[in-house]
Structures are given as structure tokens and as C-alpha cells.
Amino acid sequence: AQKVTQAQTEISVVEKEDVTLDCVYETRDTTYYLFWYKQPPSGELVFLIRRNSFDEQNEISGRYSWNFQKSTSSFNFTITASQVVDSAVYFCALSEARGGSQGNLIFGKGTKLSVKP
């Protein structure tokens, strides 16, 4: 069965600190996709990144970076020099491959990040 675990329920940091959000997943599939979404207080889920299981290269986008390690089934997300606007709930998600496409998303419970000024 597929499962996504985000062990950190809530994290609080002070602005400009770096913070890493952990994500561990379980799947029997060899082809799968991993995602991170941001849900700010407004409620809408904002897509951040999608990574397929064959691409273990780390990714950096501005202050955001992602570390994908198949050996530990982890897909961690780091925010460098955090800002108040980063305050949100962050969800890690997993989807299986279905005929070359992606199936439904299995979400972790989310990590609520609070960045204080």
C-alpha cells in the first residue's frame, strides 16, 4: 500500500532561519511521482514540485530545494532564509504511474510551518 508520512506536525522558526520539512513515503511501484504542495491560510493548494522516481537529482528553485533519496524513501524540502510569507501548511504527496500517466495523489498529513518576524 502507498503511504506518505510527514512526521513533523508543526514547525516554528524565526525569519531568515533555514528549515527542512521531512517526507518519507512507501510504495511497491517502481515508477511513481512525488510532489510538494503549499497551502497558505487562503486555503488553495499551490503546486511546488513534481519528481518522478527515476530522477534523483536534487532540485533548487530560489530559496526552495528538494532532496530526493530513494535509498531512504525520502523527499525532503528545505526553505533557505525563511520569510513570513512562507508560513503555510506544506503537503508531501505520492502518486503511482498508470499507463504512463499519474494516478490519484496520496497525501501526507501536512506540516504547518510558522515563520515569525
Contact residues toward another protein (CB under 8 A) are 35, 37, 42-45, 47, 49-50, 52, 91, 93, 98, 100-110
To the nearest whole angstrom, how small is the minimum distance from the Cβ of residue 14 to another protein? 27
The minimum distance between CB 95 and another protein, in angstroms, equals 8
Least gap, CB of 85 to another protein (angstroms): 19
Taking CB atoms within 8 Å and a gap of at least 24, the contacts of 71-76 are 72/24, 73/24, 73/25, 73/26, 74/22, 74/23, 74/24, 74/25, 75/23, 75/25, 75/34, 75/36, 75/51, 76/20, 76/21, 76/22, 76/23
Q: Which is nearer to another protein, 57 or 71 (CB)?
A: 57
